[in-house]
Structure 1
Amino acid sequence: MRFEVIPAIDLKGGKCVQLVQGVKEDVLLSLDDPLEVAGMWIDEGAETLHIIDLDGAFGEMSENRRIVYDILRLAGQKGVKTQVGGGIRTLEDAKGLLERGADRIIVATAALRNPDFIRMLVESFAPERVMVALDARSGEVQVEGWTRGSGRSPPELAQLFESLGAGWILFTNIDVEGLMQGIILDPIVEILSAVNIPVLVAGGITTLEDIDLVKHSGASGVILGSALYRGKISLVEALKMVE
């Protein structure tokens, strides 16, 4: 499997934003035209886009769905894959996104509330289209848009969701998310040791060296956010490095 370098497009209030450590009030950056941002990453060679409806993730009414659909349409026209998350709580939510062109759906809170939801998604759509997001702070997976602890560790939950048929895990280390201080490798290695399905990594990736470390740890790809938007990493260079 080819190592993936995936730009993040996080949507809040109709804009493309980057948050610090997932705190919804702590907006590091805000861009008015998410579709233009998606087009820019596609032009720079992105093969997959990571699209998150933050308002949906925080359980709020979302005005971002139309923008998500617009990005899915653009990506489809350009032959670029997409993975979408944030507020996917029902089979209908998932079906609507997949029918509009999403390649993978990302589920977090709903999976923790009802693990069997993952089995239902897998049976309805296929394992490779179902990704579970495990977002950890101090070694504990968080839910409800990173506002509440679950009492469970990432390796434990990764094994559970693999057993229920999930095709992917997305691991985010909130402790370093958005801080631009580099990754912490140990929790990544722990989760990789726990499962056999592909794992994508997010949180703290600040340099090309960080990407290289994640790649050599055995992960299947990285999600790039703050470092990309602040010019610390060039998407073109990152894609070239992992070829």
Structure 2
Amino acid sequence: NKALLKELIDKYGASKIVVSIDAKNGKVATHGWEQVSDIDSVDLCKELEQIGVKTIVYTDISKDGMLSGPNFDIYEELSKKTSLDIIASGGVTSIDDIKRLLDMNMYGAIIGKALYDNRIDLKEVLDLC
């Protein structure tokens, strides 16, 4: 609901609103990842930026929980085509992944399974910041 989103940004400020985009193969997924639409995720991010969104959480659901590394290509594309603050989600597996995301100027990263499986040391991550 883009009209509601614009209203919320106007009322609370863009710094208080973060939009989550879930995608698979570059297409937006909805309904708890059950349905993949025909909507291009990068195009949607550009549209959200025009509305006034400043920060997104972008989850590549094909990478989430797979411990196979993030989709660096999509984060690079988003960085080139938008000025959004991007929180990378899905597939973050190692400290090297986090370093690479930092080098790409990602705003943040969500670490799940790799943290629980002790593949990533939280103190080491915090030392990078």
Matches within 5 A, 1:32-51: none
Q: Contact between 1:133 and 1:170, CA under 8 Å: does it hold in 2? A: yes
Structure 2 letter corresponding to 1:208 = I
Matches within 5 A, 1:40-189: 114-189=1-76
Separation in 1 of the partners of 2:94 and 2:19?
26
1:229 and 2:90 matched: no
Separation in 2 of the partners of 1:189 and 1:145?
25
Deviation at 1:230, TM superposition (A): 1.2
Of the three residues 78, 88, 92, the one matched with 1:191 is 78
Please list every run of 5 or more consecutive structure 1 residues that lacks an aligned counterpart in the other structure.
1-113
Structure 1 moving runs of 4+ over 6 Å: none
Separation in 2 of the partners of 1:115 and 1:150?
17
Q: Contact between 1:141 and 1:154, CA under 8 Å: does it hold in 2? A: yes
Q: Matched residue pairs, number?
A: 129
Q: Contact between 2:26 and 2:42, CA under 8 Å: does it hold in 1? A: no
Structure 1 letter corresponding to 2:39 = R
3-state SS of 2:38 partner: coil
Deviation at 1:166, TM superposition (A): 1.2
Q: Deviations over 1:130-152 (max 9, x none)?
A: 11111111111111111112211
Separation in 2 of the partners of 1:133 and 1:193?
19
1:217 and 2:104 matched: yes
Q: TM-score, normalised by structure 1?
A: 0.51
Q: Which residue of 1 aligns with 2:88?
A: 201
Please list every run of 5 or more consecutive structure 2 residues that lacks an aligned counterpart in the other structure.
none
Q: CA RMSD in A?
A: 1.1
Q: Which residue of 2 aligns with 1:58?
A: none
3-state SS of 1:175 partner: coil
Structure 1 letter corresponding to 2:99 = D
Q: Contact between 1:129 and 1:167, CA under 8 Å: does it hold in 2? A: no
Q: TM-score, normalised by structure 2?
A: 0.94
Separation in 1 of the partners of 2:39 and 2:79?
16
